[in-house]
A and B are shown apart, each in its own frame.
Chain A
Amino acid sequence: QSLLTQPPSVSGAPGQRVTISCTGSSSNIGAGYGVHWYQQLPGTAPKLLLFGDNNRPSGVPDRFSGSKSGTSASLAITGLQAEDEADYYCQSYDNTLSAYVFGTGTKVTVL
């Protein structure tokens, strides 16, 4: 059972803005650990999308942004494009489990 909860799916039309929430607890996000986001295109390995709450690795468009508050974090995609259709996972660290934890995953559909 994942300690980071995400909505199973979100959808939007091309050009729209969508957000994905990642809800944790006081032993992970709320403890101040960084939140990181991964994009997994169909049939491929996850790719680091954002690190340290809101930092983009080289090559990631600035359409992707992140935020964190309390025990939750969010990923926002603005100007949604067909190529953004993928599964998205948040990740942090949990000090009760002493383990790296991933979110339940969210499938983004571009209408």
Chain B
Amino acid sequence: QVQLQESGPGLVKPSETLSLTCSVSGYYIDSGYYWGWIRQPPGKGLEWIGNIYHSGSTDYNPSLKSRVTISVDTSKNQFSLKLSSVTAADTAVYYCARRGGSTGWYYFNYWGQGALVTVSS
């Protein structure tokens, strides 16, 4: 069974960089699929941040693209998220997920439990 687990600091200061890692078990990242990040501000809806393939190919939400970097480490079976210049508006639960489906029909079928990141001084 595919399992994902987010890890990283739960508190980040404004203007600094948020960093999270997603550890995958039950599946080798370099076997395929895109892997993504999705966030959810407290009491609000879901927002897609971006995806990465094991080759390093990425696609990002245009609204966050200037501040987001997603990378992959296949040797550790992990992928990571960096979000720079954070503000209080970036306070959210951050989920990592695996993308399934096919062209035009992509969805997220495996999710981590989520990691709450609070931006505050």
Contact = CB atoms under 8 A, between A and B. Distances in A.
Interface of A: 2, 32-34, 36, 38, 44-48, 51-52, 57, 89, 91, 93, 97-105
Nearest 8 pairs of A and B residues by beta carbon: A34-B105, A36-B107, A102-B46, A100-B48, A45-B111, A105-B45, A51-B107, A48-B109
A103 B45 contact: yes
Nearest to A51: B107
B108 A99 contact: no
Contacts of B95: 45-46
9 contacts: A38-B46, A46-B46, A46-B108, A48-B109, A52-B101, A97-B61, A102-B46, A103-B45, A105-B46
Contacts of A105: 45-46
Contact of A45 (B47, B61, B114): B114
Given A46-B95, A98-B62, A33 B104 contact: yes
B62 A52 contact: no
A99 B62 contact: yes
Contact of B104 (A32, A45, A104): A32
Given A51-B107, A51-B109, A102 B114 contact: no
A41 to B, nearest CB: 12
Contact of B113 (A32, A33, A45): A45
Interface of B: 45-48, 59, 61-63, 95, 100-101, 104-109, 111-114
A72 to B, nearest CB: 17
Given A46-B111, A89-B45, A100-B48, A34 B62 contact: no
Nearest to B6: A45
A57 B101 CA distance: 12
B16 to A, nearest CB: 25
Nearest to B95: A45
A104 B113 CA distance: 21
A23 B95 CA distance: 25
A107 to B, nearest CB: 11
Contacts of A102: 45-48
A54 B14 CA distance: 42
Nearest to B44: A105
